[in-house]
Structures are given as C-alpha cells and as structure tokens.
Structure 1
Amino acid sequence: MKYGILTFDEPERDTSRKIIHIDMDAFYASVEVRENPSLRGKPVIIARHPKENGGRGVVATASYEARKFGIHSAMSAQKAYELCPDGIFVSGNFELYRSISEEIRAIFKRYTDLIQPLSLDEAYLDITENKINLNSATLIAQRIQKEIYYELGLTCSAGVSYNKFLAKLASDFKKPSGITVIPPDDAHGFLTTLPIEKYYGVGKKSVEKMHALGIFNGQDLFDQNEMELVSHFGKMGHSLYRKVRGIDDSAVVADRTRKSVGKEKTFLDDLKSEEEVTQSLRQIANQTFASLKKSQKHGKTVVLKIRYNDFSTFTRRKTFPEYIQDADELFVSALRIFEEEGSVSKGIRLLGITVTGLDSLLFENIPLKLWDRQKTEIEKETADGDEA
C-alpha cells in the first residue's frame, strides 16, 4: 500500500479442483411427461390453470415446447396462459419430485460424497477425489448423464470446470442434454465473450447499471479497475473482478444432515408375482435397516416406492406411533403398504423402502414400567395444575 492510495494484489487461480454442476432439464415438466407419455412434445406448464384459481399462481417450470412461447419459471400463470392458451397446465406432484431428486442424488453418491444441492434439480459435485478413482471429470459427468437417463428416464445438462462459478455457467451453455467443459486454458476466452447478463448472480438491476457504465460482456468487465467495481457494486464488484478472471475458491459444501435412509432396487426383469415382491421387500428392508443402524438413526415414517414398467412411479408413506425396532418390523410395514395400495398387474421394475423423520438413537424413548408411567403422569398433572 502507498500513502493515500489503496491497491489490491492480483489474485491467483486455483485450478487443482474438478467440479461438476448437474442441472436437470425442465425437471418437473420432464417428470410429468415421463409419467404421462401423451404429454410428450406438447407445451407443459407446471402451475394450476389460472381459470381454476382466479388467475393467481406462478409457473414452477415449463417444458421446452412451452418455453418457445416465452414462458419461464416465476412467470404468473395468467401470463403463461395468455402466451400459450393451448398449453397443458399441471398442478405438480412435489412429493414425487422430491422422491426422484433423492434418486438422482443417490446416483451422485456413487462417485462422491461432496455434493452440494442447490434445489431439487441441480447440484455441485466435487470429484477431485472420487470413489471410482477416475481422473477425468468429463467422463464422470457423461456417466452420470447416462445413468440418470437409463435408470430414471430423464435428461440433464452438465458443466465441468475447476471451480463452481465456471461449472454453473457451463451447465447452462448447451441445454438440454448438453455437456460443456471449460478447462483452465479456455476459461479466459469463455468468460470474456459471455454477455454480462449471463453471469450467474448478476440480476436485472445490476445489468442495467453495468450497461450504463459501458459493461456489456466479460471483456468489458475484465477491463474494469477493481477499485472502481467495488465503488459501484460493493462486495459484488470484488467478487466479479475475481470471477471474470476465472477465480472462485468457494468450496462444495455437503449437507451432511441425514433426513432419510433408504434402499431401492431396479430389476432386470419386471416382478410379476406377489411372491417375488415379498422376497424383494424383505431383502430391501434388511439393507435399509442395516444402513439405519450404521447411521445410528431411527424413525417412525416408512415410505414405499414402486416404479412400474411404464415408468409411472407410486410412493406412499405411513407414520407409526413408535420407532421401527428391527428389519422384520420394517419389512412388515412396507409389505402392508404394498398390500393395501400396490399391484403387480403392470409389472414392477423398481422397489424402494425409505425411513424418514430420523432421530438419533441417543434420544430413543425408553418404555417405562407401569408404576413409573403412572407416577410420571401424576407428576405431570400436578405440574400442569401448578402452572394453572
């Protein structure tokens, strides 16, 4: 620093990491098309029809056919209807979307535990060190795309680079079903030719302000002095000065709080008898309960998932008054759900059992003897009377 003049050291790039950003293609709409193939090729809009709710509501997402009419997420359903009166409005099944999102993350976990979900349909993966010891991030991204497609019947786009900012930009570059790789040597050229409104994190108001300052693309941003950017945009100015130089050291932060434990199995040949289903559910229940014990967790809610051979997916959950105590109890609980609402008539390609609403085993409720229970209830009634 010189007297009276604040200067910044030129930042250095860290290009040692390998980051993938996966973004599902029109996720909610694609799930609805998968569940109902008659919707394929049609403008599908995930929102309640404005005629059903007085014009209220917003679009969650829309198929690519609907997007050709200018429809996008966060648009009012009424505006979407005006743009595309023949659009097919679907209220959405968010329980199903969450279930499929968990399946997608299970595919990610085959490669790394460093997964940072941004929403149900996108996530960062740090595969610098990965479970299959594959040195190519591009090959891993391609494998993830193929597994999501063949196992779930859905497509995604992938961005591959050495930091989160570039990977996020890259995943949006070739949609749908695309993959874009930005190696360190290509980062400068990619960033400087990109329109400023394409920079992730730059909102409409900031774009207007940048245009007023003569900043229309990455090269214009690159040419700006850091102090001037900070004076105009505060902390964002400092961040953009670094990002246009391909610098983003933010880590992929994994959410390590387990909210559920489950196992599922996709069958090479569809299950067509109740005996096959019973045998498979017992096996999956054993595996699920083993994972619960390993995680030192237990729960009261059992979720059964069935995927039929036409890709239609069925999920039902049941919450019990007490924690599931062993694998046999888990199996019986799942089997009862199947007997009440499942069917083998269409052929079953996938079964899954999940336990949700998990608590630590340290907080297990210990049954009281009858005398202790009565004593406790008397003490509680006395305490309630004192408070009154």
Structure 2
Amino acid sequence: MRAAPTILHLDMDAFYASAEQAAKPSLRGKPVVVGGLGPRGVVATASYEARRFGVHSAMPMAQARRLAPNAAYLVPRFLLYRTVSDQVMELLGRLSPLVEPLSLDEAFVDLEAGGTADDTASALEIGEQLRTAIKAVTGLTGSVGLAGSKMLAKIASEEAKPNGLLLIEPGTERELLAPMSVRILPGVGPATADHLRRAGMTRVNDLVEAGEAELVRLLGKAHGGSLHRMAFGYDDRPVVAERDAKSVSVEDTFDADLHDRVRVRTEVERLADRCVQRLRGAGRSGRTVVLKVRRYDFSTLTRSETLRGPTDDPAVVREAAARLLEAVDTTGGVRLLGVGVTGLADYTQEDLFAQAAGEQAATGEAAEEETAAGGDGDKLVDGAREETRETAEQPAARRWPAGHDVRHDTYGHGWVQGSGVGRVTVRFEEPESAPGRVRTFRIDDPELQPAAPLPLVRNPVDYSSWPASLPKSLSGPVSSGGESRP
C-alpha cells in the first residue's frame, strides 16, 4: 500500500457503443447496443442512453430488444476498437513504463514508476491531463481512478463514471469502503455475494465486523482471508507491464443448434485454423489443444490433448481438435464450439510432429465440466467474449453486418443500417459530417463494397511531447476523496 495515490486506473466509457456513436453522427445521443445480433447473441456494450432502459452487458440480446426496441443494434467492429485502444495505450505508455492493460478499454498505470506523479496534487494533475489527451486524440471519454492500490483505483474509476475522475486519499480507504456493497470488492460475484447475504453480510463494513475467522469459515482460507484484507482496503499487488497470455482461443455460438456431425467437425477444423492464426499473430506456439463443446441443454464439456512439444502448425491443431471431438457426444445438438491452445511458448518443435496425424500423445489428458441445464448460457463477463458469427472476426458470414462500413462509388462512405430480402440499407455519413441520408441497394450492387473504418478524429491534436506541454482544459466531474468539484 502506498502513501500517495500514484496508481491510476483508466476505464473508457461504454467503449464500443461510444466509438460507434463517435463514428456515426446520426446515433449521437441515442440508445446504441453492440453485440451479437443472432437469436443467441449477447450484449457486449450498451450506451448510457440504452442503459436507462435497463440494458447492460452480458444481457441476452433478445431481452435487450424488449427493453429498448428503438435502439440501434450493431455488430462489433473490432478493427476500429483495437485501433482506438492502441491510441489510448500509447498515451498511457507516455506516463510510465509500467502499464498493465486489462482489456481493450481498461488499464492500470504506475505513475510513480514513470516519475509523473508522487503526491496527491501531481496525481490529480496527470489524471486531468490524461482525460484531455484521450478526448483530443480519440474523440472519446474515459473515467480515471487514482489511489494507493490497484483495487481502490479501479473502484474509484467506477465511481467516477461517466467522464469523471476520482482520487481516493491513502488513509481514507476504510471509511470510503464501509457503506459500499460487498460486490464492489474483487472476487465477489453473484454466488459469493448471495452466500454472504445469507450470513447477514451485504456491506463491506459487515465483513470487517465479522472478522477474518468467520470469513474463512464461510469461504475458505484463501478466499476468506483475502476478502478480509480487501475489506480494510489492503491490496499490495504491483502494476505488471507484461502479462503473459496463458492461452489463445476462439469460439462461435450458433444461431441454431448443429445436429449434423460432419458440419460439427467442419466447424471445429475452421475454428482450429482461426486459433492458429491468432497464435501466429502473437508470435507464439502451444503444446496443449483444448476443445470446448456447449450442447443444446447448456451442458459444457472440455477436452484437451497435450502434444509432444509446442507447435503453430494448423494441420496439427486441426487433427488434434478432430480427435478430441470423436470422444464427445453431440447427440441432441451443439450450440457453441471452441478451440484453444495452452502451454504457450516462443518456439516450435516441428520435428516432433512427423507422427502427429492420427496419434494421440501419451501425455494427453481429458477434462469434463458438466453445467446443469439452464446454466449460465452465452455471456460476456469481465471482457471475455463469446464471439458469434456476426462479429468482425467473420464479416463474410453476413455480407452486410449491421453497423459495418461500406463505400459506394457515387455516395461515398457509409454504414449498414440493415439488410434482408435481397436489399441492404445504408446511411451515408462520416465521423465529422452531419447526420447523413439513407439509401437502399440490392445486396449485389457492384458499386457498393465493404470498407475499412474511418478515424474517429480526422486531425487529432499532436501529443508527441506529452505530458510536458499538454493543455489543461477539461470538462466533466473531478473528485478527490469523494468530494466533487467542477
């Protein structure tokens, strides 16, 4: 725990939805929902306008449509989101060599390690400057939390949303946390919270008063002890610049259950190829191939096979995944398939795979996890996505995904507002234009082609010398120790 609030947590505000609103002038100020649009799709992000109707991430898309029938429903554009994320992470890298990304839109920064802050005043100054820089470079807003630990910095950014800054002074942690729900603490999900509620503990102060022995009795030594320390505000985890990936995987949720065994195998092989593409893109290889199958009744099975050495050969991964599938009963239908590779390494051992075809390594292992019917279903939690065929990973699965970019030879750049019955409707506008006009074309119109996303800010302010020369203009709430000031 630090004596100065020099750990910063940045969380972009409704990131995917805000990026779509910035890119599409006609959607600004209106409810926007981003996610899989199929019958089994889930919400990735909802704009604040949509949240007023009760829509939130991880919600089934069908439920979101019932709550907000007039919202704009869009398929994710990960190419755009990654581009904006790179811009944000580059700004964070100017503050410190210790930047720990948690997802595309979230990261911790150790300001002390970068020499950019060493007390309350300098931390507040750099937090304000960062928000200004993000707005000028990306056109989007982010919320900033500052504290003496990672846990409290993250809590602060959540309390500051949207488009705000909150600083928690070291020494005030217990007083701040006491009235908060236990769900605010890391590791307290719905199940743990319900367990604590039945024991009469709903607020953080209840955990403090219960004592460590009681929490250990309820939750076990590791979890109970950790939760007791966090209730007092204790968290000494460092900001880690390099978080080594433990696995690479891809998943698809299907709009209708797959019953044809040949089709299931074809999909597994296709997923294996996509997985290897990501593996190679990360410059890695892997030793264990994992197959995930979610069946019609929501029961989920995983199977794994450990090879003789690490590989990035698509044929080897395909064949291993196919062998694993042979041991899985798909009777009744399959709603989700996934292929992953774990045991990552920075090298391959191709010579060890001459006999890989048709052979299961002696060290192969299998694991099965059964989830009761009606279980968690398809969900997005803590940034983990189950990608459906309507995501940007596979734009070819739908010729014209809603929200994706197009270009017409006559009308210029636009985005797909909807498609069906052989027609596609396009709104022609750009990030810095006025709301555009809508036109409808045949889906095979030769003048209409898919296009790459346009930058959200055409001429962003140059912050190459930042943070030394950053202007200090700012809008939005700024708070210190829980007290707001303009």
Structure 1 residues 88 and 247: CA distance shift in structure 2, 3 A? same
1:255 aligned residue: 242
Structure 1 residues 187 and 45: CA distance shift in structure 2, 3 A? same
1:120 aligned residue: 104
2:76 to 68, 92, 103: 92
1:162 aligned residue: 148
Q: Give the residue type in structure 1 aligned to 2:7.
A: I
2:164 aligned residue: 178
Given that 2:25 and 2:431 are in contact with CA atoms closer than 8 Å, whether structure 1 keeps it comes out as: no
- CA shift, 1:180, in A, is 1.0
Kindly indicate whether residue 123 of structure 2 is the aligned counterpart of residue 137 of structure 1.
yes
1:207 aligned residue: 193
Unaligned runs of 5+ residues in structure 1 are 1-12, 261-307, 313-340, 353-388
Tell me, in whole angstroms, the C-alpha distance in 2 between the residues paired with 1:141 and 1:48: 34
Structure 1 residues 65 and 214: CA distance shift in structure 2, 3 A? same
Given that 1:169 and 1:200 are in contact with CA atoms closer than 8 Å, whether structure 2 keeps it comes out as: no
How many residue pairs are counted as aligned between the two chains? 258
1:150 to 136, 144, 147: 136
- Stretch moving more, 177-186 or 124-133: 124-133
Kindly indicate whether residue 25 of structure 2 is the aligned counterpart of residue 37 of structure 1.
yes
1:266 aligned residue: none
CA deviations over 1:129-188 (Å, ceiling 9, x no partner): 325466521211111111001111000111110000101111100210011111113211
1:270-349 to 2 correspondence within 5 Å? 311=431, 349=459
- CA shift, 1:197, in A, is 2.2
- CA shift, 1:201, in A, is 2.4
CA deviations over 1:6-30 (Å, ceiling 9, x no partner): xxxxxxx543561011000000000
Tell me, in whole angstroms, the C-alpha distance in 2 between the residues paired with 1:310 and 1:142: 29
Structure 1 residues 154 and 348: CA distance shift in structure 2, 3 A? closer
- Higher-Rg structure is 1
Runs of 4 or more consecutive aligned structure 1 residues displaced over 4 Å after TM superposition: 131-135, 256-260, 308-312
Paired residue secondary structure (1:223): helix
Q: Give the residue type in structure 2 aligned to 1:140.
A: I
- CA shift, 1:98, in A, is 0.8
Kindly indicate whether residue 8 of structure 2 is the aligned counterpart of residue 20 of structure 1.
yes
Structure 1 residues 17 and 185: CA distance shift in structure 2, 3 A? closer
2:45 aligned residue: 61
CA RMSD after TM alignment: 2.8
1:109 to 79, 82, 93: 93
Q: Give the residue type in structure 2 aligned to 1:31.
A: A
Tell me, in whole angstroms, the C-alpha distance in 2 between the residues paired with 1:210 and 1:134: 38
Tell me, in whole angstroms, the C-alpha distance in 2 between the residues paired with 1:198 and 1:310: 39
- CA shift, 1:200, in A, is 3.1
1:344-383 to 2 correspondence within 5 Å? 349=459
Q: Give the residue type in structure 2 aligned to 1:244.
A: A
- CA shift, 1:351, in A, is 12
Tell me, in whole angstroms, the C-alpha distance in 2 between the residues paired with 1:93 and 1:122: 18
Unaligned runs of 5+ residues in structure 2 are 246-280, 283-412, 414-428, 433-450, 463-486
Q: Give the residue type in structure 2 aligned to 1:241.
A: H
Tell me, in whole angstroms, the C-alpha distance in 2 between the residues paired with 1:348 and 1:190: 42
Tell me, in whole angstroms, the C-alpha distance in 1 between the residues paired with 2:140 and 2:24: 13
Tell me, in whole angstroms, the C-alpha distance in 2 between the residues paired with 1:108 and 1:204: 32
Paired residue secondary structure (1:128): helix
Tell me, in whole angstroms, the C-alpha distance in 1 between the residues paired with 2:431 and 2:130: 19
Structure 1 residues 151 and 238: CA distance shift in structure 2, 3 A? same
Q: Give the residue type in structure 1 aligned to 2:128.
A: Q
CA deviations over 1:89-113 (Å, ceiling 9, x no partner): 0101001101110110000011111
1:288 aligned residue: none
- CA shift, 1:256, in A, is 7.3
1:366 aligned residue: none
Structure 1 residues 218 and 48: CA distance shift in structure 2, 3 A? closer
Q: Give the residue type in structure 2 aligned to 1:66.
A: A
Given that 2:137 and 2:460 are in contact with CA atoms closer than 8 Å, whether structure 1 keeps it comes out as: no
Kindly indicate whether residue 353 of structure 2 is the aligned counterpart of residue 243 of structure 1.
no
Q: Give the residue type in structure 2 aligned to 1:201.
A: G
2:215 aligned residue: 229
- Stretch moving more, 124-133 or 207-216: 124-133
Tell me, in whole angstroms, the C-alpha distance in 2 between the residues paired with 1:111 and 1:93: 28
TM-score, normalized by length of structure 2? 0.50
Paired residue secondary structure (1:193): coil
- Stretch moving more, 83-92 or 133-142: 133-142
Identity value in percent: 38
- CA shift, 1:224, in A, is 1.6
Tell me, in whole angstroms, the C-alpha distance in 1 between the residues paired with 2:461 and 2:156: 35
Q: Identify, as 1 or 2, the structure richer in strand.
A: 2
Tell me, in whole angstroms, the C-alpha distance in 2 between the residues paired with 1:74 and 1:248: 28
CA deviations over 1:27-54 (Å, ceiling 9, x no partner): 00000011111101111000243xxx3x
- Bigger RCO (CA 8 Å, 6+ sep): 2
Q: Give the residue type in structure 2 aligned to 1:115.
A: V
CA deviations over 1:114-136 (Å, ceiling 9, x no partner): 01111101001111132546652
Given that 1:14 and 1:247 are in contact with CA atoms closer than 8 Å, whether structure 2 keeps it comes out as: no
1:303 aligned residue: none
Tell me, in whole angstroms, the C-alpha distance in 2 between the residues paired with 1:124 and 1:134: 16
Q: Give the residue type in structure 2 aligned to 1:228.
A: E
